[in-house]
Structure formats: structure tokens, C-alpha cells
Amino acid sequence: MFLLDLVDYAGQNISVRRSAGDVNKEDMTVGATAEAAATNGSVAKLGFVSGQGVQEFGWDEDVDDELRLAIEAVTGGELEDEESTDVADAVLLWWREEDGDLVDALVDALTNLADRGFIVLMTPKAGREGHVDASDVEEAALTAGLHTSGTVNACADWAGTRLVAPKSARR
């Protein structure tokens, strides 16, 4: 006997075919699908949309590759590295406490950012190695001429804070 479950995660109709005695396989499949849908939802909450050019700073082996791939899938292009000189609609900045001066990194990230662009600052979640306090993020953002416009639990180990220029500074 087979059971057919229809699941709708983030507008994707996904069928899971399983036998009545195969519960573990179903749980794994649906769990993985739910995790992918959550990642895609985080990408949208952070403000990424189709057609944006995104420049990435602070990549290291500890970053979340699923989130990076989800951003590329939503925007329709590869992430540009920090050496790029093209104008970017958004910046993805991975930052850990031991990385140095966050204000300097934010100012550097603004270099190629388009008017009305935004920075997504990814920091390790509380309790993880390299965690950055929210008050430190807020202070660095203000010093760099930015303000926070929301934080999202973007993936398992990282939180994303969206940083934008104040409306009065926009043209």
C-alpha cells in the first residue's frame, strides 16, 4: 500500500510517495524540503529579488552554502566576489567577531553599492563561535551611516541583518 502526501512549501507543490511502513524516509524528505523552503523564505525576507546583482564579502568555509545558492537562485545570477568593481544592488557580508573592525567592513561594502541598495550582514547566531552582539551591529551601522531594517534567522548558524541608508540620505 502506498500513501501520497501533497505538500505545498513556498508555492511548490511537492508529492511524497511512501509506503505505509516507510515513515522515516518520508520524514527525511519532507524535512529537507521544509528546510529548503525556509531558506528561500529567508532570502525573500532579507530583500533579495530577481535581477539583482549581489556582491559578497567575508566568504570563508564556515558560510552557509545553501543560503548562498538560494540567493543565486532568487536573483538569477552568481554572487560577485569582493574584488568585483561592478555596481551591486545588494551586498552579502559574512562577519564574525574576530574579523576586525565592522565599521571599516561596512564602509568598504558601500563602495560599489547602488543608490537604494542594501547590505545583508550575516553574523553567527548567539552561542555560536564568532557571535557579534546586536548592539555592536547597531553601533557599527550608525557609524557607517546606515540603519538596521530587520533581522532574520536566515539559516541554521547565521542571522541576517538588513542594513540600509536612512531615507533622508537616499536620492
pLDDT digit string (tens) for 125-143?
A: 999 999 999 999 999 999 9
Tell me the CATH number at 83. 3.40.50.150
Nearest Cα to 43, choosing from 152, 165, 156?
152
How many domains, in total, are found in the chain? 2
Q: How confident is residue 58, by pLDDT bands cut at 50, 70 and 90? A: very high
**Residue 40 sits in which domain range?**
2-45
Secondary structure letter of residue 48 according to DSSP: -
Please give the residue that has the higher pLDDT: either 170 or 128: 128
97-133 b/e with 16+ CB inside 10 Å = b? Answer: eebeebbebbeebbebbeeebbbbbbbbeeeeebebe
My answer on whether 153 and 73 are in the same domain is: yes
My answer on whether 153 and 80 are in the same domain is: yes
My answer on whether 40 and 14 are in the same domain is: yes
- pTM: predicted TM-score of the whole model, two decimal places: 0.77
My answer on whether 67 and 139 are in the same domain is: yes
Q: Count the Cβ atoms, other than its own, within 10 Å of residue 159.
A: 21
Sign of the dihedral through C-alpha 102, 105, 106, 107? positive
My answer on whether 109 and 142 are in the same domain is: yes
My answer on whether 137 and 69 are in the same domain is: yes
My answer on whether 28 and 88 are in the same domain is: no
